[in-house]
């Protein structure tokens, strides 16, 4: 068993070894039952400093390895994700509350991220440049050194590996700090797989920790680039701190994504997309459909069918029963969702389905007639809630859809060219015509604009090379030139 707890129980992965941390130990809690599944080490700033020294030391040897050797480690890691898919999924179901299709999808993406990254070490790493001088001039891509990866609780495996794999492949060392609530899925599984895949000791360090450990990574001089995925408020802090320390921070942040249903849409198809977009993974995905903007001609039909569908979706423990929705991650996230639902109902929306919970199980909720100034319309909810708002004219829809965020967008229409023209008026990093807002593929550039992020991208070779290398201008000439003095 790759996740046999004998190695990692109570530990962090520091300096190539599973060892106790100076931050102590925390419980791994199953949200569906409240049971304690194990313990992981909790890192503090002293652990981060130790990891940074060790990673910087290990990085030099790793970057100097012949490229086929680095590629082989990444390929082997992909194979290990495939071989241990059931075990890694089991943790995702228990620790995160993912339903099995979500857990299986996350392992599939993790495997693909490793295979995509395995193609990076052998890519050309720069360009030859014309020069006015008699010299060879080139822009050489070099690893940045140590990359700090900070990831959130919601889809911990994908959101960690999508930076860890390409950063390693490109010759960097990585310090991974998963959210302490989901440290096994988002950290231990990745560290164990790379350990088994033959990654040299110290090249990957894995430190579950809170904001203090994250900030210590952002400020440590040996950590040269930060890859942060999380909420917009925390991302703003990380960006500001990184700016003070003059380091690059890639920020992938929150979203409040619109699904636009035009008047020519097939309502049954639109409702299927809408339900998945808002309720998959309990709405705890940055690309979750946060607003359904529906043309008045199909609105009544749409809300009636969506409410009926939501009311029929089973909610419960995904480890023991076949459900569409598992638990939310914790009481804080559940109460945040419920506050927005009650405040939006008080502002005039109708709760057409759900709107209630037991323990951490929040029912699939449909809010109709959602006013544009209400919290469900303006804020990221991060819970299983579908807020629906009617629009009358195709002329208003782009203005209604635009907001401070800009991650994903879905448009449902029989006229795809019209859908594309509409998408051009709504700036987002991702758009799907005739699909809902959630999707992820390892080879595709992922990211947002506005309050959803800095506009940098993960996924696909070009985006990953930009994110995890820097350019060095190198010139060489046969003889030194003469100068006027």
Q: Tell me the two tokens of residue 116.
A: 């995509």
Q: Does residue 234 bind ligand NAD (CB under 6 A)?
A: yes
Catalytic residue at 114?
A: no
Q: Does residue 115 bind ligand NAD (CB under 6 A)?
A: no
Chosen residue from 16, 104, 200, 210 binding ligand NAD by CB under 6 A? 210
* Cα-Cα-Cα-Cα dihedral sign, residues 99, 104, 110, 113: negative
Chosen residue from 47, 252, 317, 379 binding ligand NAD by CB under 6 A? 252
Which residue in 116, 252, 379, 380 is the catalytic one? 252
Per residue, the 3-state secondary structure of 450-462, as one string, reads HHHECCCCECCHH
The torsion defined by the Cα of 232, 235, 241 and 246, in degrees rounded to 10, comes to -120
Window contacting ligand NAD (CB under 6 A); options: 54-62, 125-133, 302-310, 447-455 = 447-455
Min dist CB 233 to ligand NAD, Å, is 7
Whole-angstrom Cα distance, residue 411 to residue 270?
9
Token pair 């945040």: residue: 336
CB nearer ligand NAD, residue 231 or residue 434: 231
Whole-angstrom Cα distance, residue 216 to residue 287?
29
Q: Exposed, middle or buried by CB within 10 Å (0-12, 13-18, 19+), for 367?
A: buried
Q: Residue 396: how many CB atoms within 10 A of its CB?
A: 11
Residue 198 is classified by DSSP as: T
Strands 350-353 and 365-368, bridge-based pairing: antiparallel
Q: Which residues pair with 411 in a beta bridge?
A: 260, 433
Chosen residue from 62, 125, 153, 299 binding ligand NAD by CB under 6 A? 153
Chosen residue from 231, 343, 378, 434 binding ligand NAD by CB under 6 A? 231
Chosen residue from 47, 95, 111, 215 binding ligand NAD by CB under 6 A? 215
Angle CA 99–103–109, to nearest 5: 145
Q: Does residue 238 bind ligand NAD (CB under 6 A)?
A: yes
Catalytic residue at 252?
A: yes
Q: Does residue 113 bind ligand NAD (CB under 6 A)?
A: no
Among residues 146, 172, 163, 162, the alpha carbon closest in space to that of 225 is found at 146
Residues in contact with ligand NAD, shown as a per-residue x/- string from 163 to 192 under the rule CB under 6 A: --------------x-x-------------
Q: Which residues pair with 430 in a beta bridge?
A: 408
Q: Does residue 448 bind ligand NAD (CB under 6 A)?
A: yes
Q: Does residue 225 bind ligand NAD (CB under 6 A)?
A: no
Chosen residue from 150, 265, 298, 463 binding ligand NAD by CB under 6 A? 150
Q: Does residue 237 bind ligand NAD (CB under 6 A)?
A: yes
Kindly identify the residues of this chain, within the stretch 406-425, that bind ligand NAD according to CB under 6 A.
407
CB nearer ligand NAD, residue 71 or residue 463: 463
Window contacting ligand NAD (CB under 6 A); options: 20-28, 58-66, 149-157, 304-312 = 149-157
DSSP 72-87: HHHHHHHHHHHHTHHH
Residue 388 is classified by DSSP as: E
Window contacting ligand NAD (CB under 6 A); options: 106-114, 249-257, 437-445, 474-482 = 249-257
Element (H, E) at 376: helix 375-378
Contact present, 165 and 116 (Cβ < 8 Å): yes
Window contacting ligand NAD (CB under 6 A); options: 13-21, 84-92, 117-125, 146-154 = 146-154
Which residue in 113, 114, 195, 286 is the catalytic one? 286
CB nearer ligand NAD, residue 419 or residue 459: 459
CB nearer ligand NAD, residue 387 or residue 419: 387
Contact present, 170 and 143 (Cβ < 8 Å): yes
Element (H, E) at 433: strand 430-433
Among residues 213, 175, 217, the alpha carbon closest in space to that of 194 is found at 175
Whole-angstrom Cα distance, residue 20 to residue 13?
9
Q: Does residue 286 bind ligand NAD (CB under 6 A)?
A: yes
3-state class (DSSP) for residue 103: helix
Give the E-state strand segments of 230-372 in sequence order.
Answer: 248-252, 257-261, 289-295, 350-353, 357-358, 361-362, 365-368
Min dist CB 400 to ligand NAD, Å, is 21
**What backbone torsions phi and psi does residue 417 show, to the nearest 5 degrees?**
-70, -35
Min dist CB 471 to ligand NAD, Å, is 25
Residues in contact with ligand NAD, shown as a per-residue x/- string from 253 to 282 under the rule CB under 6 A: xxx---------------------------
CB nearer ligand NAD, residue 143 or residue 230: 230
CB nearer ligand NAD, residue 110 or residue 150: 150
Min dist CB 429 to ligand NAD, Å, is 8
Whole-angstrom Cα distance, residue 110 to residue 164?
10
Min dist CB 178 to ligand NAD, Å, is 6
Chosen residue from 154, 337, 344, 454 binding ligand NAD by CB under 6 A? 154
Which residues belong to the active site? 252, 286
Give the binding site for ligand NAD (CB under 6 A).
Answer: 150-155, 159, 177, 179, 210-211, 214-215, 229-231, 234, 237-238, 252-255, 286, 380, 382, 407, 448, 452-453
């Amino acid at each position: 068993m790759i996740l046999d707890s004998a190695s990692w129980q109570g530990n962090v992965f520091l300096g190539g070894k599973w060892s106790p941390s100076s931050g102590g130990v925390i419980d791994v809690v199953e949200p569906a039952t409240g049971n304690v599944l194990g313990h992981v080490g909790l890192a503090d700033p002293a652990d981060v400093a130790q990891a940074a020294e060790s990673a910087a030391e290990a990085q030099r040897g790793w970057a100097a390895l012949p490229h086929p050797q680095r590629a082989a480690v990444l390929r082997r890691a992909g194979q290990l994700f495939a071989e241990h898919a059931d075990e890694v999924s089991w943790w995702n179901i228990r620790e995160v509350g993912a339903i099995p299709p979500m857990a299986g999808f996350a392992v599939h993406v993790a495997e693909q991220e490793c295979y995509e990254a395995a193609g990076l070490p052998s890519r050309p790493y720069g360009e030859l440049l014309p020069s006015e001088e008699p010299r060879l001039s080139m822009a050489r891509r070099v690893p940045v050194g140590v990359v700090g990866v900070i990831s959130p609780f919601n889809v911990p495996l994908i959101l960690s590996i999508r930076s860890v794999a390409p950063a390693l492949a490109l010759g960097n060392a990585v310090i991974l700090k998963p959210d302490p609530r989901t440290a096994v899925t988002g950290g231990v599984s990745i560290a164990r797989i790379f350990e088994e895949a033959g990654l040299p000791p110290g090249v990957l360090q894995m430190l579950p920790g809170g904001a203090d450990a994250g900030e210590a990574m952002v400020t440590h001089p040996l950590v040269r680039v930060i890859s942060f995925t999380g909420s917009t408020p925390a991302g703003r802090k990380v960006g500001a701190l990184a700016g003070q320390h003059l380091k690059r921070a890639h920020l992938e942040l929150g979203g409040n994504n619109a699904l636009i249903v035009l008047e020519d849409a097939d309502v049954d198809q639109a409702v299927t997309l809408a339900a998945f977009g808002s309720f998959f993974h309990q709405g705890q995905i940055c690309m979750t459909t946060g607003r359904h903007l529906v043309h008045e001609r199909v609105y009544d039909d749409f809300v009636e069918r969506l409410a009926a569908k939501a009311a029929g979706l089973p909610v419960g423990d995904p480890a023991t029963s076949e459900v569409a929705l598992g638990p939310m991650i914790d009481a804080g996230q559940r109460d945040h969702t419920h506050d927005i639902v009650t405040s939006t109902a008080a502002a005039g929306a109708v709760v057409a389905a759900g709107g209630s919970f037991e323990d951490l199980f929040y029912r699939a909720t449909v809010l109709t007639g959602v006013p544009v100034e209400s919290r469900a319309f303006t804020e990221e909810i991060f819970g299983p809630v579908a807020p629906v708002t009617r629009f009358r004219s195709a002329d208003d829809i782009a203005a209604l859809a635009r907001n401070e965020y800009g991650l994903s967008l879905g448009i449902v229409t029989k006229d795809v060219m019209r859908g594309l023209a509409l998408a051009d008026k709504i700036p987002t990093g991702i758009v799907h015509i005739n699909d809902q807002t959630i999707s992820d593929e390892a080879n595709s550039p992922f990211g947002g604009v506005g309050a959803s992020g800095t506009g940098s991208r993960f996924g696909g070779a070009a985006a990953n090379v930009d994110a995890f290398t820097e350019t060095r201008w190198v010139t060489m000439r046969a003889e030194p030139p003469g100068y006027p003095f």
